[in-house]
Amino acid sequence: MTLIKSISGIRGTIGGRTGDTLNPLDIVKFTTAYATFIRRSGKGNSNKIVVGRDARISGEMVRSVVCGTLMGVGYDVVDIGLATTPTTELAVVMNAADGGIIITASHNPRQWNALKLLNANGEFLTAEDGAEVLRIAKEEDFEYAAVDTLGKYIKDDTMDLRHIKSVMALKLVDEEAIRNRKFRVCVDAINSVGGVILPKLLDRLGVDYTILNGEPTGDFAHNPEPLEKNLQDIMDEMRHGGYDLGIVVDPDVDRLAFICEDGTMFGEEYTLVSVADYVLAHTPGNTVSNLSSTRALRDVTAKHGGVYSAAAVGEVNVTTKMKEVNAVIGGEGNGGVIYPESHYGRDALVGITLFLSSLAQKGCTASALRASFPEYFIAKNRIDLTPSTDVDAILVKVKEMYSNEQVNDIDGVKIDFADSWVHLRKSNTEPIIRVYSEASTMEAADALGKKIMQVVYDMQ
């Protein structure tokens, strides 16, 4: 059993002892600390906090505890029910709330759940703010409201349609071209909230669709991370069903992967690349992704005359960098598209509509679009260490060894070679170093990663 407290929230497995798992007592403490932080920050005055959740089996239990706790602190709760992460982010702004809590463990298996914390802009807390929430929780530096100042409970079932309306209003969403193309798509909604909102979106776009795993039961039909090894059912359906495109989302619908008409993976790394190519063709500008994402985004950005920048891993780091360089599009290679014209958060609905607009305008197949981008492959490895290993010292030595190459050390160590790169990054939760490497073939990428791994082993 596991309970992980970090600056981005609290997550863990359901059941077990206090302090060891995600259970009602720890949920109360952490929710109280967050609400206390929001009030003390003075960055909102509506006295409202939005709560949304994915369809996990434990979601109703966690939602009840969270909502009751917020009311106990004195906040009015705007409960938007089953909702995607981007829907909840938008709901904070649309309701002029002081913050929001998203109840989701993203791509983690069914026994996990989590609280993700938002500020008044509907964006994740900064590292500094998250650290303060942890301090308040640890010291129990809070108190509850008296009976006359308890919060109210407000149910809001309008946010799915308001989210879709905001997406359709984006200037680069070409609804007419999508309708005229008469797309036929297959969607794997992993038995979560994608099965609720994506049919509404596709109906609005005039797209014919089949939904796999569409019931929001939280009993996931397969491992919920949208990777090829977990998606054989929809890939088989694509090969025989006569579809133009396959669409796969994770349980909270902030990650997005596509499958080509022939049943092959478009490539999760290329979700952002393809959407960025479309956006940059119409609105030239700068882009951002994290250090572990494909170099293809840099290449596409250069093609359109923009400047690519890398950020540390983590959505809040990417959005911070995007604001700094005034990026018109950005995100993460795990299928997370962040389009500031909509909001500063990963949003699969935005990704789907922009991708369909691109396909419709180009009049090509998904596989032909994929073939138009630079070809790279990423290998993912790990180095297991003992708890006493000085990981920071190892990374410093690696940086020194490759000082003649282009090195970025804002998040671990990334070494950029002429035709490849490798990124070493220590885990915050395990005694391991994650080793991601990219090259023009999978064999070359894996060989590069293993070469650097051997360098680390030789240091120990």
Active-site residues, by number, are 106
152 phi/psi in degrees, rounded to 5: -105, 160
Tokens of 63: 């939602």
What is the C-alpha separation between 153 and 94, in angstroms, rounded? 17
User: Nearest to residue 379, comparing CAs of 423, 416, 314?
Assistant: 423
What is the C-alpha separation between 134 and 149, in angstroms, rounded? 25
Q: Give me the sign of the Cα torsion angle 22, 343, 252, 54.
A: positive
Tokens of 286: 């700068």
3-class secondary-structure state, position 280: helix
What is the C-alpha separation between 12 and 108, in angstroms, rounded? 10
- The residue type found at 105 is A
Sequence-distant (6+) residues with CB within 8 A of 128 are: none
Residue carrying the six token digits 């297991």:
384
In this structure, are residues 201 and 353 in contact, taking their beta carbons and an 8 Å threshold? yes
CA Rg, the chain, in Å? 22
| DSSP letter string, 200-254 | HHHHHHT-EEEEES-S--S--SS-SS--GGG-HHHHHHHHHHT-SEEEEE-TTS-
What is the C-alpha separation between 459 and 456, in angstroms, rounded? 5
State how beta strands 336-338 and 327-332 pair. antiparallel
